[in-house]
């Protein structure tokens, strides 16, 4: 998978919530829920120019009442500094409950963080997901509702002079991520201040985000919150209710945030709880009185104050350099545009022409490396393999070209790629029309094996007075029908004419409406393969249909002549209430399709011909 940029507060796809701090080059997962219902943020607490300053006596006091802005100032000016310098360990517990389509989903995440003086923050986390079915038919035993458990490790810190953030989730590399930055003051670097702040639980930032982005939306700026003082600790409790209205209804969010500081402003704990209920409008625009549970969040962090542990000499659970590619081999995946064709794994010296080409990294070292996606960045012969300006790589014709390939981490490799042209082995032609009429033309669809053969087809006819083949500007062959009769069409490989195929086509003339009506009632119709299946149309509007086992009396009338057929209106009979009946424009076939609107398996499809033509053929 691709490397992810450093994120400030990430929420993984499987709901793991891990915390960091971004800089101006970072990207992050955005908080999708409105109000104060989401524990994740897309903003960064620190950019490359941020500074943490000493607090004033008024803002740093934790025993006086404060507004939300003053509490935020305390966190930004004091708590973040202290957390960066004096975190020994921390724990975080998050429980989210959400109403999904057929179940209530509960996700419980537990994290334990230990800091080292490199500086490094190493987090071990667990995630447990459970479901409570709200669908009686599915029930709790439904396979999709089985409990799921995952564990992960998260490394943030300095290793061999470079800053890394690594998330390693058990069960493979699918959800792993890795980022690295050089330490410095440049635009693509991370400062030492940022390193110190990232290598904690970042409890101060998260608490401040809840405070300023969720609670402040529902509370007056002038509201003063008095702390509850207990010895060296002061706890501020903030309650808020937020109501949002849109075209679907009204959503009410109730939330509580508690933040506990030591006397000098060290943030020891925060606890955030929220719950969301919704009321919806009915079809008449009336708001329901019933509240529906939507989701809830409970997020608590406890920080233990102290010194970072000495970084051990033995490797930690995560060795950051193991997540970047050092050596690899390349194989080629060839893909056709047809969804029916499977991808072909090729060696570099035997690439089929006419395929889209993708280089694949194999035998990667280290095995945990994530930057394994390969990109072609240059090509010496665009006539052999074409590299478009959009990065699309396609083999064109036989030959050899030299390409330069790079992985996401910039590890370059040059390869000689040889394209081999395939030859046609077989040809099939198809005209998607059951009748060919004088004065019309029909596309001849060509199917060759193998489908990527680099060749052209040549077409010939035995009787050009009946029909001829014309290739249009798009390269499609069209059969142009001139007069009544049979014509043989032969298609052969231009490179190897011995590979060919011949089809015989019958060209007929369209009849006028009166003639068609007369043909319908004077012909005894039957199915060629099963002559005991018959269809009769009498001039008085009555008729008979036999499916080979049962006979049915039918009532019918003429429809309209349109395009290549005259429609016949057959009234519903027996179980059949969906009926289609069409007489071909040359009067040679009747297509009869009948079914039941409720019992789709009870249906009949048949193409009927003049029974005298069967006798003639015999």
8 Å CB contact between 157 and 44: no
Three-class SS state of 77: helix
pLDDT mean over 55-76? 79
φ/ψ region of 290 (left if φ > 0, alpha if ψ in -120 to 50, else beta) reads beta
Rounded to the nearest 10 degrees, how much is the dihedral formed by the CA atoms of 46, 47, 48, 49? -90
Note whether 327-420 and 426-508 share their fold: yes
Q: Beta-carbon neighbour count of residue 461 at 10 Å?
A: 17
Which of the two residues, 313 and 165, has the higher pLDDT score?
165
Q: What is the pLDDT of residues 489-532, one digit of tens each?
A: 999 999 999 999 999 999 999 999 999 999 999 999 999 989 89
Q: What pLDDT is attached to residue 59?
A: 53
SS3 assignment, position 98: strand
Indicate if the pLDDT at residue 154 is higher than 50. yes
Distances (CA, A) of 509 to 478, 488, 581: 18, 18, 20
Return the pLDDT at 341: 62
What integer pLDDT is reported at residue 55 of this predicted model? 35
Q: Tell me: the pLDDT tens digits for 86-127? A: 999 999 999 999 999 999 999 999 999 999 999 999 999 999
pLDDT digits (tens, 9 = 90+) for 74-84: 999 999 999 99
Measured CA to CA, the distance from residue 336 to residue 357 in angstroms comes to 9
**Is 185's pLDDT higher than 50?**
yes
Would you place residue 22 in the very low, low, confident or very high pLDDT band (cuts 50, 70, 90)? Answer: very low
Give residue 238's pLDDT band: very low, low, confident or very high (50, 70, 90): very high
Strand partners, 250: 245, 279
pLDDT, the chain, mean:
87
Spatial CB neighbours of 120, under 8 Å, sequence gap ≥ 6:
155, 156, 157, 158, 159, 199, 311, 316
Angstrom distance (rounded) from CA 259 to CA 85: 19
Q: How much of the chain, in percent, has pLDDT values that exceed 90?
A: 73
Question: Exposed, middle or buried by CB within 10 Å (0-12, 13-18, 19+), for 441?
Answer: middle
Distance of CA 254 to the CA centre of its chain: 34
pLDDT at site 298? 98
pLDDT at 54: 33
Q: And the tokens for 412?
A: 């370059």
With a cut of 80, say whether residue 26 has pLDDT above it: no
**Cβ atoms of 408 and 371 closer than 8 Å:** yes
Q: Which of 40-44, 73-77, 170-174 has the lowest mean pLDDT?
A: 40-44
Residues 379-422: tens digit of each pLDDT: 999 999 998 877 788 998 899 999 999 998 899 999 999 999 88
First to last CA, the chain: 67
Q: Which of residues 31 and 209 earns the better pLDDT score?
A: 209
Q: State the pLDDT at residue 409.
A: 86
User: When comparing pLDDT for 344 and 210, which is higher?
Assistant: 210
In the predicted model, what is the mean pLDDT of residues 537-558? 96
pLDDT band at 8 (very low <50, low <70, confident <90, very high): very low
In this model, does residue 4 exceed pLDDT 90? no
pLDDT tens-place string over residues 337-354: 654 567 889 889 999 888
> Phi first, then psi: what are they for 434, rounded to 5°?
-80, -20
Looking at residue 338, its pLDDT comes to 56
Structure-block tokens of residue 294: 């939507």
Does the domain formed by 426-508 have CATH 2.60.40.1080?
yes
In this predicted structure, what is the pLDDT of residue 60? 61
Q: What integer pLDDT is reported at residue 465 of this predicted model?
A: 97
582-598 average pLDDT score: 95
SS (H, E, C) 441-501: EEEEEEEEECCCCCCCEEEEECCCCCEEEEECCCCCEEEEECCCEEEEEEEEECCCCCCEE
Spacing of C-alpha 276 from chain mean position: 28
Distance CA 36, CA 33 (A): 8
Pairing of strands 500-508, 436-437: parallel
Indicate the burial class of 243 (C-beta count within 10 angstroms; 0-12, 13-18, 19 or more): exposed
Which residues, other chains included, contact 220 with Cβ-Cβ below 8 Å and sequence gap of 6+?
none
- Per the structure block, which two tokens stand in for 393? 């790589």
> Which token pair is 572?
């519903």
CA distance 214 to 256: 10
Phi, psi for 253 (deg, rounded to 5): -115, 125
In this predicted structure, the answer to whether residue 45 has a pLDDT above a threshold of 60 is no
Q: What is the CATH number of domain 327-420?
A: 2.60.40
Q: What confidence score (pLDDT) does residue 337 get?
A: 63
| Model pLDDT, residue 508 | 97
Distance CA 604, CA 313 (A): 79
**Is 601 a residue whose pLDDT tops 80?**
no
pLDDT of 600 over the 60 cut: yes
My answer on whether omega of the bond before 119 falls inside 30° of 0, hence cis, is yes
Please list the residues that pair with 3 across neighbouring strands: none
- Per-residue pLDDT, averaged over 578-605, amounts to 91
How confident is residue 10, by pLDDT bands cut at 50, 70 and 90? very low
Domain ranges of the chain: 9-305, 327-420, 426-508, 513-617
Q: What is the pLDDT of residue 107?
A: 97
Instruction: Region of 429 please: left (phi>0), alpha (psi -120 to 50) or beta.
Output: beta
pLDDT digit string, tens, across residues 418-456? 999 888 999 999 999 999 999 999 999 999 988 778 889
């Amino acid at each position: 998978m691709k490397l992810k940029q450093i994120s400030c507060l990430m929420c993984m796809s499987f709901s793991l919530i891990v915390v960091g701090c971004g800089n101006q080059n970072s990207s992050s997962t955005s908080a999708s829920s409105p109000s104060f219902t989401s524990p994740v943020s897309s903003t960064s607490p620190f950019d490359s120019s941020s500074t943490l300053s000493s607090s004033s006596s008024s803002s740093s006091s934790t025993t006086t009442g404060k507004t939300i802005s003053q509490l935020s100032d305390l966190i930004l000016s004091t708590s973040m500094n202290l957390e960066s310098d004096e975190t020994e360990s921390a724990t975080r517990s998050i429980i989210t409950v959400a109403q999904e389509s057929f179940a209530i989903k509960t996700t419980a995440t537990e994290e334990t963080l230990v800091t080292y003086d490199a500086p490094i923050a190493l987090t071990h986390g667990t995630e447990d997901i459970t479901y409570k079915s709200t669908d009686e038919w599915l029930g709790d035993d439904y396979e999709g509702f089985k409990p799921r458990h995952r564990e992960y490790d998260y490394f943030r810190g300095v290793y061999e002079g470079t800053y890394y953030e690594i998330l390693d989730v058990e069960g493979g590399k699918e959800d792993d991520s890795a980022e690295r930055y050089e330490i410095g003051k440049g635009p693509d670097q991370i400062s030492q201040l940022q390193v110190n702040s990232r290598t904690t639980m970042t409890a101060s930032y998260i608490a401040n985000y809840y405070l300023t982005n969720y609670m402040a939306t529902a509370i007056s700026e002038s509201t003063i919150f008095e702390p509850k003082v207990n010895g060296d600790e002061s706890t501020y409790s903030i309650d808020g209710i937020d109501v949002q209205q849109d075209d679907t209804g009204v959503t009410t969010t109730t939330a509580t945030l508690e933040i506990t500081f030591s006397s000098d402003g060290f943030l020891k704990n925060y606890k955030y709880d929220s719950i969301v209920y919704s009321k919806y409008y009915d079809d008449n625009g009336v708001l329901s009185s019933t509240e529906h549970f939507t989701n809830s969040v409970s997020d608590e962090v406890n920080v233990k104050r102290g010194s970072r542990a000495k970084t051990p000499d033995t490797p930690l659970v995560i060795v950051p350099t193991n997540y970047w590619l050092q050596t690899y081999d390349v194989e080629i995946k060839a893909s056709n545009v047809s969804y029916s064709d499977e991808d072909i794994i090729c060696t570099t010296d035997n690439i089929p022409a006419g395929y889209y080409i993708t280089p694949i990294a194999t035998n990667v070292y280290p095995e945990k490396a994530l930057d394994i996606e390969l990109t072609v960045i240059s090509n010496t012969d665009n006539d052999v393999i074409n590299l478009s300006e959009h990065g699309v790589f396609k083999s064109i014709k036989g030959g050899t070209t030299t390409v330069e390939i790079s992985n996401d981490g910039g590890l370059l490799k040059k390869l000689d790629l040889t394209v081999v042209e395939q030859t046609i082995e077989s040809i099939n032609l198809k005209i998607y029309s059951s009748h060919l009429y004088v004065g019309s033309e029909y596309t001849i669809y060509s199917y060759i094996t193998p489908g990527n053969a680099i060749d052209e087809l040549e077409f010939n006819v035995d009787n050009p007075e009946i029909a001829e083949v014309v290739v249009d500007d798009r390269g499609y062959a069209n059969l142009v029908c001139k007069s009544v009769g049979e014509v043989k069409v032969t298609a052969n490989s231009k490179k190897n004419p011995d590979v060919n195929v011949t089809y015989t086509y019958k060209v007929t003339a369209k009849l006028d409406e009166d003639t068609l009506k007369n043909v319908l009632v004077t012909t005894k119709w039957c199915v060629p393969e099963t002559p005991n299946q018959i269809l009769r149309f009498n001039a008085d509007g009555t008729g008979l249909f036999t499916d080979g086992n049962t006979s049915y009396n039918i009532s019918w009338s003429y429809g309209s002549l349109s395009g290549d057929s005259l429609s016949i209106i057959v009234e519903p009979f027996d179980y059949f209430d969906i009926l289609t009946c069409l007489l071909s424009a040359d009067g040679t076939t009747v297509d009869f399709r009948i079914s039941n609107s409720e019992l789709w398996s009870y249906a009949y499809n048949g193409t009927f011909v003049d029974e005298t033509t069967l006798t003639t053929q015999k």
